[in-house]
Structure 1
């Protein structure tokens, strides 16, 4: 697939819109034939390409172009180019691969929200690598003005894995609030257990730098590693020492003990969001480049055959009532 064709497919991909009078957002529909995202890394459901509140945009493309030949992404002064598997947006979620180590080359393993994938060789699992999709299951979508539910049904056809997975984006009436709700029912013969995290690709149109802060509900116990010298930790807060430039990134754990309750904001503009989850945190990672800040809390899910598990996140967005649009 050429870069031009990838961009053309993205522009033509099926989408939907939600609004509650305060927040408006656009989302992509999961579609194996024409969907925007058909990689094998992120959950196909609930990719948000735009969310706006009080004139502030919170999500959108953090890259300039797509090139399937790129492993993850490249960041040069000319452009940020992203590979197919990493071309997600918004509060995109990634589940750990299930059953990969036990699968022989040619056999299948599971990625929730994608389906059954085929192991190609003896190499370790690589989230940036594209795997053949053996069975993407069946997707259905139900929506109204304020909510959309995506349901993926994957039947156990001898692999031992089967499930019904529903992910809902719900705008709360009268509030600048988005709830992301999940239900996973195990209909197969094998245990489903995996970590999952939301990548939280925050895109505001402003360069990542000292105006931004990430606040945890706990005292952060680790200092930034040398590779993340662009970051600074003070008590409960992570900040940036200077604006990030092309090719620079921050990648670091955010260690400590506390609830799933975080705040990401621009201290100068007064815009940002909080996110609360209803599951204990396994670990938290911060990944940032010049165009996006991604706080990634991991949780663990588990469902034995015949069992159902649920989890949700609550995003609240804030911005001044009247503000000038930021300069790009």
Structure 2
């Protein structure tokens, strides 16, 4: 593999995974630059990754399986004055532009963290060196590996600063199975009731299943009502005509679950609370199984 290639590739018995080299495909201020997964190929023919928007320049640059730290709780933002920097784990030091509240969709100036990359045929490890800012500093190691039909993303975060790290992390999961549009061909399953207080009209919720009445023309968003904080959480998305699907297994305390999407993409989102005292470490992993029925 060339050290200068913009796409890093790993493969196993059934999966081929493409990962963007940090700062090439994506260089924005929202998502983690490491482990930005732009392609998953199952059995040489089934694809899963989609863009956030089909309109060039629209949205925040999300694609495939990309994660974000601090969508609601940015580290040190309230302590930074306009023109000063604050932490965005996996991305870099961002510059606070003014007195307004932090908004994840806004574009902030980024000073990226130094990142070392170690590549093997079936796994890639990103070592994000800590940069101190206002007594906050985090050393993150993220490994993406494949094993048969599984893609596993492993996180290890160590607080090497002097202040407590308190934020959240989730993976956005921009999914379209074989580029099939969002419609009644899909079913999304949870291990609890998905019925919610507010359900978009394009959705039908019955028990633990979400389906679509028609192809959405606008964004949709739903928070499954039966969710309670739990470990060993699983969701499963299947394209019924083809029998191709993906499930995410979360072997960590899940803080929140939501589903976002558009006419071309479905994004189940599973959140974890990140709370690390100085000198301590927090680790977790996300397991994705890609399958055919």
Settle same-fold status: TM greater than 0.5.
Answer: yes
Aligned residues: 282
Q: What does residue 207 of structure 1 align with?
A: 181
Q: Residue 185 in 1 paired to residue 158 in 2?
A: yes
How far, CA to CA, are the matches of 1:103 and 1:63 in structure 2?
Answer: 32
Q: Secondary structure of 2:129's partner? A: strand
2:19 to 17, 27, 38: 27
Q: Residue 94 in 1 paired to residue 68 in 2?
A: yes
Question: What do residues 81-130 of structure 1 show as CA deviations (whole Å, max 9, x unaligned)?
Answer: x24xx212122111111121232212221110112211110111111111
Q: What does residue 8 of structure 2 align with?
A: 16
How far, CA to CA, are the matches of 1:64 and 1:179 in structure 2?
Answer: 27
Question: What do residues 195-245 of structure 1 show as CA deviations (whole Å, max 9, x unaligned)?
Answer: 1111011022111011111111112342443xx11111111111111222x
How far, CA to CA, are the matches of 2:50 and 2:269 in structure 1?
Answer: 17
Decide whether the 8 Å contact of 2:38 with 2:65 is kept in 1.
Answer: no
Q: What does residue 165 of structure 1 align with?
A: 140
Ranges in structure 1 where 5+ consecutive residues have no aligned partner? 1-11, 68-81, 321-328
2:46 to 47, 56, 61: 56
1:137 to 108, 113, 116: 113
Aligned ranges for residues 42-121 of structure 1 at < 5 Å?
42-54=31-43, 55-67=45-57, 82-83=58-59, 86-96=60-70, 97-121=74-98
- Structure 1 runs (4+) deviating above 4 angstroms are none
Q: What does residue 41 of structure 1 align with?
A: 30
How far, CA to CA, are the matches of 2:174 and 2:244 in structure 1?
Answer: 15
How far, CA to CA, are the matches of 1:238 and 1:48 in structure 2?
Answer: 25
* TM norm structure 1: 0.82
How far, CA to CA, are the matches of 1:218 and 1:21 in structure 2?
Answer: 32
* TM norm structure 2: 0.91
Q: Secondary structure of 1:116's partner? A: strand
Q: Residue 176 in 1 paired to residue 162 in 2?
A: no
Decide whether the 8 Å contact of 1:262 with 1:274 is kept in 2.
Answer: yes
Ranges in structure 2 where 5+ consecutive residues have no aligned partner? none
How far, CA to CA, are the matches of 1:213 and 1:60 in structure 2?
Answer: 17
How far, CA to CA, are the matches of 1:209 and 1:221 in structure 2?
Answer: 19
Decide whether the 8 Å contact of 1:53 with 1:319 is kept in 2.
Answer: no
Q: What does residue 252 of structure 2 align with?
A: 279
Q: Secondary structure of 2:107's partner? A: coil
Decide whether the 8 Å contact of 1:279 with 1:299 is kept in 2.
Answer: yes
Decide whether the 8 Å contact of 1:161 with 1:188 is kept in 2.
Answer: yes
Q: What does residue 194 of structure 2 align with?
A: 220
